[in-house]
Chain A
């Protein structure tokens, strides 16, 4: 009974819980509800993935109105996987959030924080689950607006300008996406994705569709902070509350990349995207620039959060690179990196959040010698960092392996070379942190309580994510299996 309505429950549950959170008011109660709801979402997402893997895609007409007239929720391997990533990361980060948020946000605003959190998760899950282009835009706005507000709750006043900047850039991106969807609607008279895919080939050559394609590409690139449209991201991640940085870095860009996949492969189809529009060459060039630019700039950051933010720009480059190889191996690399990078960045931002819990600022000067006082936190950071570099036995290595393999399959040696070269840049920026934390002597710290480890309620979720980095690095068959099926599904022509 309930099983049939899982796709709807995926978004309805957190959406209804959000206003309840406002009514609860008490910080701990709000947190309790948010945690419960997040774990229910995770359960629903897992159940959906399990069903999709055994029974194939699920189509769910919302309110009983049949597609293409009503809104259709459509779950296949690709978005079921994204749902699990988003819900899983959010469920773990919300556990971590309690202590971190109590430290960083005034008590009277905490219930608002969790309300926004639930709305943001609703938006992200909705974008992934829906099969309707306009509905996608609605959920995009829900997640964007709530994340602007979440970022502005950051402890420093600079969070406000960071959020404002994101608001401006994000709105431009969303408007572009809306214009693109509008133009497509104009030409085909439908908003359902599968229906769009059926009707588009007839009008594919028209200037309107080409313009729509351009608007959508630029709009989505803005939302995923693809170089050179990345300028909102570093400050947004740096000045947001620690838990928000972890959530957004691990999920928001992933859903954006999913949007890109859906649009390029399902709606317009790989033939139009990469043969007619010859998108591939442009995307590869941009993706490579993104990896080099993000990694190089990350080396020069003193603030560790902003270092990780620039590294995210580079990592988004890897995902787009994998996608633009347009082969099963390349797409597998891109999709598996969605999962892997979510684990890597969530773990690293959570470790940094633990540091922020004890320190005034998370800069290289402040963390000097911290390895002795916060051994578990720093050990988590080191393992996460190794995974980011792509050392074997971590998930980062799996992504690199498939990316390089994909590039070599197409005989693009320079691309393979650049991928490996940028991993070496990651060694440089991660090792600056390691050296400062372990081999620099600690400055004379004021109060002895600041020597302590972060509370276990933050450490345990952090380590769960970090150990997942190692577990899926050693036996990666689960994500790779799914990514390969997803890649094949995206590349195969429509039924």
Chain B
């Protein structure tokens, strides 16, 4: 397919899919076939872009001309390619999982769920392939609004409160800080295009640049940098597929992805590292990594613990961007991929446990490994990948980030990364350990009587096995993603 056409189709296909899903809502089987078909076609289209981008070309398309000098335009560069591949690929897996979960859980309003999901993916594609900051902002806002009905899906008082917090923080930061930064950039530089090397060289004093960069970093509320992280644990009231794909992959990664984009293509790594304006922000990111890990340990609800773990892991990417050197950026980019596969596996497992065993609290999960062996084994793999142990893909991102801190002579930050890995061990590994070796809580049937295998629906099992295998596969084959990131930091190495 013509790459320029494929770029255009990336956000359009899920949007059309949303309409088709809406019209076939009365027949669940057709509706879900539509979801899967849309996911498959989308992934095919995004994948077809890979060879061209890996070869160094930059397919582009203009959606429409908006404000003078600010078209809504798309252009694929390596970082966007990476994010687009992850989001569209994992959407297929999540769709498979959703079918099992939503039916197994007898959720209401399933058509609204699938429609909003498709719109969210469409806007995630727009974020991934945005050619300028304005386009990115537009799709970023659509992503927020389209995921709001997913957070409040159940319509309970708790869900509504979570929805308010969700919109309040995400719109508050994006309109109050990010939009201000964007208009400011426009009035300083006269352009918002993503240009390698940045557009802000020699246009403002380091003080102004520092404030501007801080506005961007905190304005990306989706990156959940403290103190703007509260929406993420609150959003866990959503159905588990939403937590898995959106609040571990598409939405949160859109935030950290945007920060990386701004660091690389608006400011430029040279400008950032030369002016030293990112220095104090690295400590904010480091604090977020540590504090969120510690809070995660105190949470007994599995999804809440995973949410705090996500907050901590997202700041790894932010840290990668803030280090502003080649290794940091490569590590940050790889972390987007590795954490996506690992965390989606963990959420899939949490949902499977909820559907099959009706358990949400970690303290009740003793002995669960006997009835749900596949699920708990996948959970173990995902945990190891988050911690960063071989043979899991998570090792690579931790590795490059650590090299990045050494390169920047930030040994304190290296210590933070290592400490955080230990924290990960402390809050993740007890769960599978307890499931395989612990005793079931008192009041349930004696563990010694063989309860038999009671796994989640087949669709759920397929999905979580695929992503768990993905974690292992990425350890042996990180190259497709590594070479993309390498293109950004060392363009002469492009294949």
Interface residues of A (CB under 8 A from B): 386, 389-393, 398, 400-401, 404-405, 408-409, 416-417, 420-421, 423-424, 427-428, 431, 435, 438-439, 441, 474-477, 480
Q: Which of A405, A424, A431, A441 contacts B175 (CB 8 A)?
A: A424
Minimum distance in angstroms from A330 CB to a CB of chain B? 13
How many residues of chain B have a CB within 8 Å of chain A? 30
* Contact call A391/B179, Cβ cutoff below 8 A: no
Q: Assuming the A-B contacts A431-B164, A474-B64, A476-B67, are A439 and B152 also in contact, with contact meaning beta carbons closer than 8 angstroms in the complex?
A: yes
Assembled-state Cα–Cα distance A391/B148 (Å): 15
Minimum distance in angstroms from B128 CB to a CB of chain A? 17
Nearest-CB residue, chain B, relative to A329 = B187
* Contact call A424/B171, Cβ cutoff below 8 A: yes
Minimum distance in angstroms from B234 CB to a CB of chain A? 15
* Contact call B65/A404, Cβ cutoff below 8 A: no
Q: Which of A392, A400, A435, A438 contacts B141 (CB 8 A)?
A: A392
* Contact call B65/A390, Cβ cutoff below 8 A: no
* Contact call A480/B68, Cβ cutoff below 8 A: yes
Minimum distance in angstroms from A385 CB to a CB of chain B? 11
Residues in chain B near residue A438, CB distance under 8 A: 149
Assembled-state Cα–Cα distance A409/B152 (Å): 40
Chain B, 125-181, CB within 8 A of any chain A CB: 137-138, 141-142, 145, 149, 152, 155, 159-160, 163-164, 167-168, 171-172, 175-176, 179-180
Assembled-state Cα–Cα distance A258/B67 (Å): 24
Minimum distance in angstroms from A381 CB to a CB of chain B? 15
Q: Which of B67, B138, B152 contacts A480 (CB 8 A)?
A: B67
- Show 11 A/B contacts (Cβ-Cβ < 8 Å), sorted by A: A391-B145, A393-B142, A409-B187, A416-B180, A423-B175, A424-B171, A424-B176, A438-B149, A474-B64, A477-B68, A480-B68
Q: Which 5 interchain pairs have the tightest Cβ spacing?
A: A392-B138, A404-B183, A408-B187, A420-B176, A439-B155
Residues in chain B near residue A421, CB distance under 8 A: 176
* Contact call A474/B175, Cβ cutoff below 8 A: no
* Contact call B187/A427, Cβ cutoff below 8 A: no
* Contact call A398/B167, Cβ cutoff below 8 A: no
Nearest-CB residue, chain B, relative to A484 = B68
Assembled-state Cα–Cα distance A441/B156 (Å): 10
* Contact call A474/B152, Cβ cutoff below 8 A: no
Assembled-state Cα–Cα distance A477/B66 (Å): 7
B459 close to A (CB within 8 Å): no
Residues in chain B near residue A424, CB distance under 8 A: 171-172, 175-176
* Contact call A405/B187, Cβ cutoff below 8 A: yes
Residues in chain A near residue B64, CB distance under 8 A: 474-475
Assembled-state Cα–Cα distance A423/B159 (Å): 24
Residues in chain A near residue B23, CB distance under 8 A: none
- Besides the known contacts A404-B179, A408-B187, A427-B175, 13 further A-B residue pairs in the complex with CB atoms under 8 A apart: A392-B142, A401-B183, A408-B184, A417-B176, A420-B179, A424-B176, A427-B167, A439-B163, A474-B66, A475-B66, A476-B66, A477-B65, A480-B67
* Contact call A417/B180, Cβ cutoff below 8 A: yes
Minimum distance in angstroms from B189 CB to a CB of chain A? 12
* Contact call A390/B183, Cβ cutoff below 8 A: no
Assembled-state Cα–Cα distance A390/B137 (Å): 13
B186 close to A (CB within 8 Å): yes
Assembled-state Cα–Cα distance A420/B171 (Å): 11
Assembled-state Cα–Cα distance A386/B137 (Å): 15
Residues in chain A near residue B163, CB distance under 8 A: 435, 439
Assembled-state Cα–Cα distance A409/B186 (Å): 10
Nearest-CB residue, chain B, relative to A431 = B167
Q: Which of A392, A393, A405, A477 contacts B183 (CB 8 A)?
A: A405
The interface centre, meaning the residue of B64, B163, B183, B184 with most chain A CB atoms within 10 A of its CB, is B183
Assembled-state Cα–Cα distance A431/B145 (Å): 11
Minimum distance in angstroms from B340 CB to a CB of chain A? 26
Assembled-state Cα–Cα distance A475/B71 (Å): 10
Residues in chain B near residue A477, CB distance under 8 A: 65, 68
Assembled-state Cα–Cα distance A475/B65 (Å): 6
Q: Assuming the A-B contacts A431-B167, A475-B66, are A386 and B183 also in contact, with contact meaning beta carbons closer than 8 angstroms in the complex?
A: no
Residues in chain B near residue A393, CB distance under 8 A: 138, 142
Minimum distance in angstroms from B288 CB to a CB of chain A? 23
Residues in chain B near residue A389, CB distance under 8 A: 171, 175
Nearest-CB residue, chain B, relative to A411 = B187
Residues in chain B near residue A476, CB distance under 8 A: 66-67
Assembled-state Cα–Cα distance A386/B144 (Å): 12
Nearest-CB residue, chain A, relative to B152 = A439
Assembled-state Cα–Cα distance A393/B139 (Å): 10
Assembled-state Cα–Cα distance A398/B152 (Å): 29
Minimum distance in angstroms from B248 CB to a CB of chain A? 25
Residues in chain A near residue B141, CB distance under 8 A: 391-392
Minimum distance in angstroms from B158 CB to a CB of chain A? 12
Minimum distance in angstroms from A292 CB to a CB of chain B? 14
Minimum distance in angstroms from B345 CB to a CB of chain A? 31
* Contact call B183/A416, Cβ cutoff below 8 A: yes
Instruction: Produce 1/0 per residue, B178-218, CB < 8 A to A.
Output: 01100110110000000000000000000000000000000
Nearest-CB residue, chain B, relative to A407 = B183
* Contact call A420/B160, Cβ cutoff below 8 A: no
Nearest-CB residue, chain B, relative to A434 = B148
Assembled-state Cα–Cα distance A392/B130 (Å): 15
Residues in chain B near residue A386, CB distance under 8 A: 145
Nearest-CB residue, chain B, relative to A409 = B187
Minimum distance in angstroms from A380 CB to a CB of chain B? 16
Nearest-CB residue, chain B, relative to A416 = B180
Assembled-state Cα–Cα distance A417/B171 (Å): 14
Assembled-state Cα–Cα distance A194/B171 (Å): 47
Minimum distance in angstroms from B84 CB to a CB of chain A? 21
Residues in chain A near residue B67, CB distance under 8 A: 398, 401, 476, 480
Q: Assuming the A-B contacts A391-B141, A408-B183, are A435 and B176 also in contact, with contact meaning beta carbons closer than 8 angstroms in the complex?
A: no
Assembled-state Cα–Cα distance A431/B175 (Å): 16
Assembled-state Cα–Cα distance A416/B171 (Å): 16
Residues in chain A near residue B138, CB distance under 8 A: 392-393
Chain B, 80-138, CB within 8 A of any chain A CB: 137-138
Nearest-CB residue, chain A, relative to B211 = A413
Residues in chain A near residue B155, CB distance under 8 A: 439, 441
Assembled-state Cα–Cα distance A428/B164 (Å): 9
Assembled-state Cα–Cα distance A32/B4 (Å): 52
Nearest-CB residue, chain A, relative to B187 = A408
Assembled-state Cα–Cα distance A477/B65 (Å): 9
